[in-house]
Amino acid sequence: MNEPTATSAPLAARKYTFPKEEHLCRKKLIEELFGKQGSSFGVYPLRIVWIPASAPTTAPPQVLISVSKRTFKRAVDRNRLKRLIREAYRLNKYRLTEQPNGHSIALLGIIFTGKEKSPLTLVEKKLISAFHRLLGTSAEASASPPAV
């Protein structure tokens, strides 16, 4: 009687990975993400940019993580922040992929816009709130009108 659902997957069954296939690397797709098709919002210290998928899916979106060279001059600081964002995404991407009806995000850009270095707990908390906002707006955008 107790059948596992997508939202109640046991911790052992989840894959907390961020493989190369999920990294957004193609220049054409990056230009598309930051072009006219991409939508965005800010959850300080992060800015989320995304392109909706044509149909809901349970596959993880391709993700781009960026930290400004203008704000953080030293590469060690930029790399540290990118590492924190990757870790927060890796641990919480199940919130996107385990939606009952799937999610409608094809490409996702996470940009760090803060002026100071942030700890992992803050980055993770803000990324989770960004996911909730993203799923709320993408669910409204892809919702079909009620049947009469």
- Max CA distance (Å), the chain: 59
pTM of the model as a whole: 0.82
- Tell the residue number behind the tokens 């990757």, with chain if given: 86
Residue 80: partners with Cβ closer than 8 Å, 6 or more residues away = 117
Which of 6, 20, 9, 10 is closest to 90 using CA atoms? 20
Domain spans of the chain? Answer: 21-137
Render pLDDT for 15-74 as a digit per residue (tens, 0 to 9).
899 999 999 999 999 999 999 888 999 999 999 999 999 999 989 999 999 999 999 999
* Token pair for 3: 């059948």
Which of 8, 21, 14, 23 is closest to 94 using CA atoms? 14
Four-way CATH pick for 21-137: 3.90.1150.10, 3.90.700.10, 1.10.3720.10, 3.30.230.10: 3.30.230.10
Give the pLDDT mean for 7-21: 77
Render pLDDT for 98-133 as a digit per residue (tens, 0 to 9).
888 889 999 999 999 999 999 999 999 999 999 999
Rg over alpha carbons for the chain, rounded to the nearest Å, is 16
d(CA 144, CA 107): 22
